[in-house]
Amino acid sequence: MTETAPDMPRHGSNAFMFVIITVAIDMLAFGLIIPVIPTLVQELGHITPEQATLYIGGLGATYAVMNFLFGPVLGSLSDRFGRRPVLLASIATLGLDFLIMGFAGSIWLLFLGRALSGISGATYSTANAYIADVTEPETRGKAFGMVGAAFGFGFVLGPVLGGFLGDFDARAPFFAAAVLALLNFVYGIFVLPESLAPEDRRPFDLRRANPFGAAKHFSKLPQVSWFLAAAGIFFLAHTVFPATWSVHGEIRYDWTPKDIGLSLGLVGVGAAVVQAGLMGMALDRFGTLRTAAYGIIINAIALFLYAFADAGWMVFLIIPFGALGGVASPAMNSLMSSVTPRNAQGELQGASASLNSFAMIFGPLLMSGALYYFTEQASPVHFPGAAFLLAAVLTALAIVPFLRGVQANKAALPAAE
């Protein structure tokens, strides 16, 4: 992450960097556990990799249900009381979640851990609201790109370390992740300042602090709602990665936790390079709208290629190309943020997180179900890439509401760019 922080006259660049580091450490902790989830589920349930796909999908859906219900609440609380307390509470609960999963003696304790992390899963959305507080609209796209780069940086080291630790013990990455999350909490207590000025706060409104109330509020704002719909479909398609990547690699390519970790590490390198180094260049050359559109198209192509990659080495060739599509989410986030009032940025990010969580309720079940159906012994057609083909189709469909959002924002397009 070599790019300098965008101009932030209201709060200063130090506040911005605190959040960047927080996101990086948080994702490092989360990435540690991804390579060993299939192994731990198989160990606790005494089941095959194919059967484990359904449990992994259920774990993802459990997280999503709780995040869907609590995302807008935490977003609205951050608009009322500030970003700092919400971030700190979320990070502390995440550490507790990792400890529960590390000590789990049954699959159902894994579900309890994911439920807790779903409730506390405001870290990323509240971090985005924090960034919106400390940046101006014209620099916000680059700022969101740097948050994405920090997200990717965590994925560079997290899965790689998790894969190596998992070769010794499937539970070791959970305890390492818990330590990192709790250190992050202590770090935040001492160095994370508040970003939301008292005059920019708004009263807590329960009618708007729930997923349905937030959706109703933003449905009245077509300039935001169409982009939210596009982002939601886009995210639904990309649940294929957390839901199936690890177990898909084990089933299709006979990957070990180390192989899974290395592949995810390469994904993280690509995300960090693109979002820290190329995001600003793309925005300067193509503008926010075109950058988002090109990112969606690249993602659709990459997912299609994953679907038909019959050898593991092919995946490693596709990953750098797919990384170029990483510009889509920050660009769409910037578009939505630019047409939302400053005192509703937390609500916007909460609504966005809730919509993403709604997708995560069905996405892991849908994607893991597709993988299971086309790989289990009784399947009429054996096609391990089915989930990625489904994801490619959904990503392509996301361009429809995106273009409707462009039409709804014709008058504001120069400002959005």
Domain that holds residue 215: 13-191+208-416
* Close Cβ partners of 369 (under 8 Å, ≥ 6 residues apart): 54, 57
| Residue 389 forms part of a structural domain | yes
Residues 14 and 12: their CA atoms lie apart, in Å, by 6
At 2, list the tokens: 């070599």
Sign of the CA dihedral running 136, 137, 143, 147: positive
| DSSP label at residue 135 | S
Instruction: Classify residue 36: in a domain, yes or no.
Output: yes
Q: How many domains, the chain? A: 1
How far, rounded to the nearest angstrom, does the alpha carbon of residue 156 sit from its chain's CA centroid?
A: 15
State residue 216's pLDDT score: 59
| Polymer length of the chain | 417
Alpha-carbon gap, residue 173 to 198, rounded angstroms: 40
**Amino acid in position 276:** A
Q: How far is CA 237 from CA 40, 110, 388, in A?
A: 25, 24, 8
Q: Mean pLDDT for each consecutive 10-residue tract of the chain (417 residues)?
A: 44 64 71 80 86 83 77 74 81 84 87 81 68 72 73 73 83 86 82 71 64 57 76 90 87 89 83 77 85 94 96 95 90 78 65 71 87 87 94 95 80 49
Q: Is 94 helix (H, G, I), strand (E, B) or coil?
A: helix
Question: What's the gap between Cα 188 and its chain centre?
Answer: 21
Confidence at residue 122, expressed as pLDDT on a 0 to 100 scale? 55
Per DSSP, 4 falls in state: P
- The pLDDT of residue 286: 87
The domain that holds 309 is classified in CATH as: 1.20.1250.20
Q: Look at residue 4 and tell me if it is in a domain.
A: no
Does residue 298 lie in a domain region?
A: yes
Cβ atoms 342, 71 nearer than 8 A = no
> ∠ at Cα 26 (341, 184), nearest 5°?
100
Between CA 84 and CA 346 the distance in angstroms is 12
